[in-house]
Amino acid sequence: GQGIAVVTSGGDSQGMNPSLRAVVRVGLYVGCRIFYIKEGYQGMITGGENIVEATWDSVSSIIHRGGTIIGSARSKEFMTLEGKLKCAKNLVKRGISNLIVIGGDGSLTGARDLRRMWPDLLSQLQKSGEITAEEAQKHHGLRVVGLIGTIDNDFPGTNMTIGADSALHRILEAVNAIASTANSHRRTFILEIMGRHCGYLALKTALTTEADYVFIPEMPPPANWPEDLTKKIHVSSMAGKRLHLIVLAEGATDIDGNPITAVMVRNYAAEKLGLDARITVLGHVQRGGSPSAFDRILGSRSGAAAVFTLMDLRYDEDPAVVAVQGNHMKKLELEQCIQIMNEMKEAIKDKQFDKALSLRGKS
Ligand code: F6P
């Protein structure tokens, strides 16, 4: 059968294991050989024991486990030409011309780059004698399919990234716990939520916890946010609320692009409003724990769709990603998604927030 390598890369997310399980089992079912690449792109560079063949049983009892059993990494070396040459050599030497990457924005951009450079990489390897002309000829094409695994839900073209739902569950568990102590002490909590440049998790947290205020990168607060915040807190105090929740996305800024930090908000709440305020940075708790039912299903469907999408690609075709739209799995062009993603980041940088939001709306 054909060789398919599967790698999980970048920040892990709940649902990577269900995705991996589906890739392995559907791949074996259709007669392919599946190879795990351990430790993300770094394992693809080092090769050796980091590339091992998967079996049906090697993915037993993992659907409920968070993270990724094959390890992940943020590899700097992969960004370099030398790193990519080593990757190409390791894939060719194992007879692999098919790659499934499970990861977020950075990892999928890496996959696009590897595919783009593939012909050059092979000719360089052939020139330096590291692979033979026959090997270069046999592996002239590389089929690449991405699965969008990240808690941030920041990827265009898909309604939900694999892991975002579980992260939200984890956040809600933590906020429920905080709310009981906050309520007892009549305290205000500033909750810092992950998401990098994306406010999805913070916004959904605010909506589902009846927060008093939320800061997200896509919609910076008005320049007079301290007064605005004061008003909101005042109104909810008057309504008899014993606790206040202020949700802060880690990438939040003011209208001029200056970061708004949890310490800044806490100091304002304590010094100007006289509130008993505490900060909770939820951190990697958000990425941990068991995947939700939604992520187990989404991961499984995405994994299966990735294998079928890969089988349908031509060897000279550009990479695809599998996304969920409505309740349907869709094949999208990776390049187009990356372009929208970059436009979105640029729009936020240029303070074109309406444009950024409408680009997000395309997701
Ligand atoms: O992209 C996922 C994510 O958890 C972001 O929300 C966060 O900014 C980042 O990764 C943290 O990265 P690391 O785990 O490398 O500290």
The SS3 call for residue 149 is strand
Note the pLDDT of residue 188: 95
Q: Which of 104-108, 235-239, 255-259, 271-275 is predicted most confidently?
A: 104-108
Distance from C-alpha of 65 to C-alpha of 290, rounded to nearest angstrom: 5
Distance from C-alpha of 219 to C-alpha of 209, rounded to nearest angstrom: 19
Mean pLDDT of the region 169-184: 95
- Ligand 1 nearest-atom number relative to CA 287: 4
Mean pLDDT of the region 258-272: 95
Mean pLDDT of the region 313-321: 96
Note the pLDDT of residue 219: 93
Which residue among 105, 113, 120, 152 is the active-site one?
Answer: 152
What are 208's two structure tokens?
């589902």
Mean pLDDT of the region 260-278: 95
- Who wins on pLDDT, 351 or 116? 116
Mean pLDDT of the region 278-294: 97
Judge whether residue 38 has pLDDT over 70: yes
The residue nearest atom 2 of ligand 1, judged by CA position, is 11
Do 102 and 7 contact (CB within 8 A), yes or no?
yes
Distance from C-alpha of 23 to C-alpha of 15, rounded to nearest angstrom: 12
- Ligand 1 nearest-atom number relative to CA 251: 8
Q: Based on the number of CB atoms within 10 Å of its own CB, is 334 exposed (0-12), middle (13-18) or buried (19 or more)?
A: buried
The SS3 call for residue 122 is helix
Note the pLDDT of residue 223: 87
Pocket of ligand 1 (CB under 6 A): 11, 74, 104, 150-152, 194-196, 250, 287
Do 34 and 6 contact (CB within 8 A), yes or no?
yes
Give the model confidence (pLDDT) of 110-138 as tens digits.
999 999 999 999 999 999 999 999 999 99
Note the pLDDT of residue 160: 97
Residue 75 CA, ligand 1 centroid: distance in Å: 14
Residue 155 CA, ligand 1 centroid: distance in Å: 14
Beta-bridged to residue 279, according to DSSP, are 190
Helical residues (DSSP H) of 144-224, grouped into ranges: 164-185, 200-209
CA 358, chain centre distance (Å): 20
Distance from C-alpha of 41 to C-alpha of 48, rounded to nearest angstrom: 13
Do 33 and 3 contact (CB within 8 A), yes or no?
yes
Q: Among 194, 286, 345, name the best residue to mutate to test ligand 1's pocket (greatest count of ligand atoms within 8 A of Cβ).
A: 194
Residue 310 CA, ligand 1 centroid: distance in Å: 28
What do you get for the CA distance between the two ends of the chain, in Å?
35
- Ligand 1 nearest-atom number relative to CA 154: 1
Distance from C-alpha of 286 to C-alpha of 166, rounded to nearest angstrom: 8
Please give the backbone phi and psi of residue 197, each rounded to the nearest 5 degrees, phi first.
-90, 5
Percent of the chain topping pLDDT 70? 99
Distance from C-alpha of 241 to C-alpha of 179, rounded to nearest angstrom: 12
Judge whether residue 357 has pLDDT over 90: no
Q: Write the Ramachandran bin of 333: left for phi over 0, alpha for psi from -120 to 50, otherwise beta.
A: beta
Please give the backbone phi and psi of residue 316, each rounded to the nearest 5 degrees, phi first.
-100, 10
The residue nearest atom 12 of ligand 1, judged by CA position, is 11
Judge whether residue 64 has pLDDT over 60: yes
Q: Is the ipTM of this complex over 0.95?
A: yes
Judge whether residue 83 has pLDDT over 90: yes
Note the pLDDT of residue 92: 96
Read off the pLDDT band of 362 (50, 70, 90).
Answer: low
Note the pLDDT of residue 32: 96
Which amino acid appears at position 234 of this protein?
H
Distance from C-alpha of 126 to C-alpha of 88, rounded to nearest angstrom: 11
Mean pLDDT of the chain: 95
Give the model confidence (pLDDT) of 18-29 as tens digits.
999 999 999 999
Percent of the chain topping pLDDT 90? 91
Judge whether residue 278 has pLDDT over 60: yes
Judge whether residue 363 has pLDDT over 90: no
Judge whether residue 41 has pLDDT over 60: yes
Read off the pLDDT band of 359 (50, 70, 90).
Answer: confident
Beta-bridged to residue 98, according to DSSP, are 4, 143
Do 320 and 313 contact (CB within 8 A), yes or no?
yes
Distance from C-alpha of 336 to C-alpha of 318, rounded to nearest angstrom: 10
The residue nearest atom 8 of ligand 1, judged by CA position, is 196
Distance from C-alpha of 205 to C-alpha of 120, rounded to nearest angstrom: 46
Is 152 an active-site residue?
yes
Residue 194 CA, ligand 1 centroid: distance in Å: 7
Mean pLDDT of the region 86-108: 97
The H or E element that residue 176 is part of is: helix 164-185
The residue nearest atom 15 of ligand 1, judged by CA position, is 11
